[in-house]
Amino acid sequence: MTYEQAIQSRRTFAIISHPDAGKTTLTEKLLLFGGAIREAGTVKGRKNSKHAMSDWMEIEKQRGISVTSSVLEFLYDGYHVNILDTPGHEDFSEDTYRTLTAADSAAMLIDAAKGVEAQTKKLFKVCKMRGIPIFTFMNKLDRQGRDPFELMEELENLLGIRSYPMGWPIGMGQSFSGVYDRHEKKLELYNPKNPKAIDVIQLTGPEDPKLDEAIGDEGLVAQFREELELLDVAGDDFDAEMVAKGELTPIFFGSAISSFGVQTFLEHFLKHSPSPTPRESSEGLIDPLTHKSFSGFIFKIQANMNPAHRDRVAFLRITSGKFERGMAVKHVRLGKQLKLAQPTQFLAQSRSIVDEAYAGDIIGLFDPGNLRIGDTLVEGNGFEFAEMPHFSPEYFSAITVKEALKHKSFEKGLQQLTEEGAIQLFKTYNRFAEQQIVGVVGVLQFEVLEYRLKHEYHVDIQLDRLPFSFARWVGGTEEQMETFKRLQRNLVTDRDGRIVVLFENEFQMRTAIDKYPELEFYENSFYRSK
C-alpha cells in the first residue's frame, strides 16, 4: 500500500448526540460489524449484563453513562476506521469539544421521538464552526416517533443545515416495516420478532411490485410511495460538495439497539466521508497528502486507564506523515526530542502495541508527565497546531484532603486530573492561608472527581461549594495588574500562575470590567476571546 492509499483509506470521526439517544449502543454495533468485538455490550441493564465496550471506567459501568471519550479502532472493507466515542452528558462537554478537534467528520445521532435536543445543538455548533461533514442517524424507528418530514424541518430550523435522506422508512413504531435505500434501490425488511434477521430485497424502484408483496400492507405502501414522491419533488438533491462543507447532512434511519440500518449507515458513511483533512498550524495549512513528515497533536490525556499499573496515556492525533515505533520527534512546547517507544492503539481500555500508523490514526503514548493537552509533536523543524478549545468553568468548590497523611497522593491525583482536562485547579492569591479551588463546566464532574480520587488514588476529599459562576483571566501591563491585584477581591491563580478573578454573577463581572477599562478580561487562558 502506498502512502497516499494509506491516507485515503483512513476515516476518523466522532459520534455526537444528546444523552440517551443511543450513541454508545450505535458505537457498539459499528464495532460488531467491523469485527472488533464478538458481542455488543449493554449500556444499561442488570448487574450481570456486559457493559458497553467504550464505557471502560468503573463509574461509567455503574451509572450507565459515558463520562470520558473513548478511542475505538477497527478495519472494515478496506477502510481503517477510528471512532471517537464522546460523552453525551453536558457536564462533560469540554472533553467532547476537545475530542472533536481530532475528528474529520461527525455522526450525529438523533432520537426519532425527541428530535434535536439541547446537547445536540451545542455539539453541532462546534462541528459547524470547524466546517466538518455531518452524517445523521435517526434512531429508534422501532418505537413510535415523530414524522420524518418534521424531523428534517427541525434540522433546518434549529441547526441551519439542509438534509438528504439516503433512505426512507416504511412505517414507524409498531408499524415499522423497513427502510428503502434510495441510492441502491434496496429494501431492508424489519422483523419485529427477530430484529437481527434483516432480509434485503433488490428492487427496480419504489414501484416494484416486490415491495407490495414484501410489506403486505396496502395503506402503508401507498403512504410510503406518496412520501417518497414528495421527497423527490420538493426535497434537496444529493450534493457531495455541500456534504463536504457541512452544509448538507445525509440522513439514515434505523434502530441501533436491534442493529437495523447500522451496516447500511456504516457503508454509506465510509464511502462519502472524508479521509484525513488538513489542519491549521503556525506555518499554514498542513495537508497530509503533501506534507509527508510526521506531525500530530495531543487532544486528550487519561490517567489510570489500567489502575493496576497507574499509567498515564496521552492521545495523539496524527496529522501528517507516517509514524514508526521508536522514532524521535520534537516536542515543540519544551523544545526537546522525544522518543516514541511504546505507542498503542485502542479498543476502549484494551490496547496493543503499534509499529506504524498514518495521518488520521489515533495512538496512545505512555507519558510520565511531560505532555499536555494541545502539545504538538513534529518530525524536523518545529511548528505548532492551533490551540485546544478551553472553556471557563461555571461551578466551583474548595477542595481539601480529609487525611493529612494522604496529602502527597492527593496532590498527585489533582495534578493528573488537571492535566487530563477533567477539572481546572486554582489557588487563592494573596491570602495568608492558601486554598485550592476546583472549577468545572458541569456539576457531575465533582462526583467523578471524588470517585476517581477515592478509587484511583485512595484519597477521601471534602468539597465545599463556592458561590461563583464566572472565571475571567486578566491581562494588562505590570503597573495596571499591581493596582488590580491590590484592590480586587476573589483573585486566584491557575496552574501556570496566571491571575484569574472569580465572580458570583454577571453584574459583578460587568462592574469590574467597567471599573478597570484598561485591563482585558478573557473567557479562557489562551486569551482568545473577551
CATH code (residue 254): 3.40.50.300
Question: Any bridge partners for residue 162, and if so which?
Answer: 248
- Asked whether residue 292 is domain-assigned, the answer is yes
Query: In a structure prediction context, what are the per-residue pLDDT tens digits for the chain, which is 530 residues long?
Result: 899 999 999 999 998 888 788 888 888 888 888 775 544 443 333 333 344 444 434 544 444 433 344 578 888 999 999 988 765 445 445 677 778 889 999 999 999 999 998 778 878 887 887 889 999 999 999 999 999 999 999 999 999 999 999 999 999 999 999 999 998 999 999 998 888 788 999 999 999 999 999 999 999 999 999 999 999 998 899 999 999 999 999 999 999 999 999 999 999 999 999 999 999 999 999 999 999 999 999 988 876 655 555 577 888 999 999 999 999 999 999 999 999 877 776 554 456 788 899 999 998 888 887 888 889 999 987 899 987 766 788 899 999 999 999 999 999 999 888 877 778 999 999 767 789 999 988 788 898 899 889 988 899 999 999 999 999 999 999 999 999 999 999 999 998 889 999 999 999 999 999 999 999 999 876 554 33
d(CA 248, CA 427): 46
pLDDT on residue 39: 45
**What is the arrangement of strands in the sheet containing 436-440, beginning at the earlier edge strand?**
461-466, 395-401, 436-440, 424-428, 491-493, 499-503, 470-475, 520-522
* Alpha-carbon separation of residue 42 from 23, 24, 53, 87 (angstroms): 12, 9, 9, 16
DSSP notation for 394-452: -EEEEEEES-GGGHHHHHHHHHHHHHHTS-EEEEESS-SS--EEEEESSTHHHHHHHHH
Q: What is the CATH number of the domain that holds 407?
A: 3.30.70.3280
pLDDT on residue 211: 96
Contact 84, 302 (CB under 8 A): no
The secondary structure of residue 174, as a DSSP letter, is G
Number of domains observed in the structure of the chain? 3
**What is the b/e burial string over 17-37, where b = at least 16 CB atoms within 10 angstroms of the residue's CB?**
bbbbbbbbbbbbbbbbbbebb
- Asked whether residue 93 is domain-assigned, the answer is no
On whether both 299 and 441 belong to a single domain, the answer is no
Task: For CA atoms 298, 350, 51, 48, give the dihedral sign.
Answer: negative
d(CA 186, CA 289): 36
d(CA 370, CA 156): 45
On whether both 371 and 229 belong to a single domain, the answer is no
The cell numbers describing 89, all together, are 452528558
On whether both 47 and 166 belong to a single domain, the answer is yes
* Alpha-carbon separation of residue 36 from 49, 82, 354, 401, 472 (angstroms): 19, 12, 16, 42, 45
d(CA 482, CA 480): 6
- Asked whether residue 46 is domain-assigned, the answer is yes
Query: Residue 165, exposed/middle/buried by CB under 10 A (0-12, 13-18, 19+)?
Result: buried
* Cβ contacts of 74 within 8 Å, gap of 6 or more: 31, 34, 35, 36, 81, 83, 347
**How much of the chain is in helix, strand and coil states, percent to nearest 5?**
30, 30, 40
Task: For CA atoms 403, 404, 406, 407, give the dihedral sign.
Answer: positive
d(CA 133, CA 142): 27
On whether both 133 and 254 belong to a single domain, the answer is yes
Nearest 10 degrees: Cα torsion 483, 489, 495, 498: -20
Which of 272, 288, 322 is the last residue before a domain boundary? 272
Q: Region of 332 please: left (phi>0), alpha (psi -120 to 50) or beta.
A: alpha
* Alpha-carbon separation of residue 8 from 12, 134, 307, 444 (angstroms): 11, 19, 36, 40
pLDDT on residue 389: 60
d(CA 354, CA 366): 13
On whether both 165 and 265 belong to a single domain, the answer is yes
On whether both 231 and 304 belong to a single domain, the answer is no
Which of 272, 290, 317 is the last residue before a domain boundary? 272
| Secondary structure element (H or E) that encloses residue 119, with its range | helix 118-130
On whether both 263 and 290 belong to a single domain, the answer is no
The cell numbers describing 411, all together, are 496532590
At position 501, the amino acid (one-letter code) is: V
On whether both 372 and 499 belong to a single domain, the answer is no
pLDDT on residue 20: 80
- Asked whether residue 178 is domain-assigned, the answer is yes
On whether both 414 and 467 belong to a single domain, the answer is yes
CA 79 distance to own-chain centroid? 21
Range of the structural domain that residue 331 is part of: 279-378
**pTM for this model (two decimals):** 0.77
On whether both 185 and 236 belong to a single domain, the answer is yes
d(CA 217, CA 213): 9
- Asked whether residue 89 is domain-assigned, the answer is no
On whether both 203 and 294 belong to a single domain, the answer is no
- Asked whether residue 212 is domain-assigned, the answer is yes
| Secondary structure element (H or E) that encloses residue 138, with its range | strand 134-139
- Asked whether residue 462 is domain-assigned, the answer is yes
Which of 378, 411, 433 is the last residue before a domain boundary? 378
On whether both 285 and 259 belong to a single domain, the answer is no
- Asked whether residue 289 is domain-assigned, the answer is yes
Q: Long-range contacts for 447-454 (Cβ within 8 Å, ≥24 apart)? A: 448/59, 448/67, 448/422, 449/417, 449/422, 449/423, 451/59, 452/59, 452/304, 452/413, 452/417, 452/422, 453/410, 453/413, 453/414, 453/417
The cell numbers describing 434, all together, are 492558601
**Which is nearest to 15 in space by CA: 263, 300, 266?**
266
DSSP notation for 75-97: EETTEEEEEEE---SGGGHHHHH
